[in-house]
Structure 1
Amino acid sequence: SVEELRKLLSDKDAYESYLHSIEEVKQLDTLRNDLRKSNVNLARHNLGKESEMAELRNQCMIIRTTELATAQEKFSDAQRREKEILARSSPASILNKLQEAANAADDESESLHHKLLSGELEFPEFLQKYRQQRVLYHRRTLLRLAA
């Protein structure tokens, strides 16, 4: 009736009472309450798992840091070995080794000369060995100078 409609429009409590008496609204209220309860239960469950999650995070962090430390150590070793290899095979290092080898051949030829003079070596043997050492010395010296 018109009177009931006026009362619903003017009286807020009457309007609320009428609204909540409708079956569909009752179902929505029930559904909303069920959802709230479910939400609260899920929140409690999640809060209950918080300490377990924190412990698992700590374990992951420990594993990560130990594996990272091991990997970094291996990487540092590999870098160190690489630098050593590169240092040994650098042009300056190779030239230095070539100079040392040439000096060794020169020293050996000088030693052969002293052995000849002291009578430790016969001339034919001296000549063969001395010639080999001098050729080796000059070959190495020329290679170094050509570089």
Structure 2
Amino acid sequence: MDVRSRLTELGLRLPGVSPPKGVYTPAVRSGRYVQVSGQVPMAGGELVATGLVGAEVTAERARELSRQCGLAALAALDAVAGLDTLVRVVKVVGYVSSKEDFTGQAEVVDGASELFGAVLGDAGRHARSAVGTGVLPLGAPVEIEVLFEVAD
């Protein structure tokens, strides 16, 4: 699987890995797995959107931000293990900072899930959780964490 070529075909570019905003590392490899820390929508080290989904942020915009977080997760994976080692996406957990009556968390997290499917085909299919929450770090509307399997 040539992930870089597929990204190019889709007109996508990996962002730079954003420096941590706390005491953690963006990704950790343990054997055949890379756990990517929660990615919020950043550009140039700064958050690109804030607010609650269903209030200040539309569900469609949050879905786009979720996709952006998925690209950031691939960038973090690349920095730790290289995209050429990627075997599959194992699990995605999406957190959506939601207005109290917003119930479309799954559709928001679909942005990241669809990205992985488009880039990786069957290797992008994964287990997933989509969780609504009142607030996320830095006021982000969405946060995505990913567990990848990589080759030895």
Q: TM-score normalised by the shorter chain: which range applies?
A: under 0.3
Q: Relative contact order: is structure 1 or structure 2 higher (C-alpha 8 Å, sep ≥ 6)?
A: 2
Which is higher, the Rg of structure 1 or of structure 2?
A: 1
Instruction: Output the TM-score relative to the length of structure 2.
Output: 0.23
Higher strand share: 2
Considering fraction of residues, name the structure with more helix: 1
TM-score (normalised: structure 1): 0.24
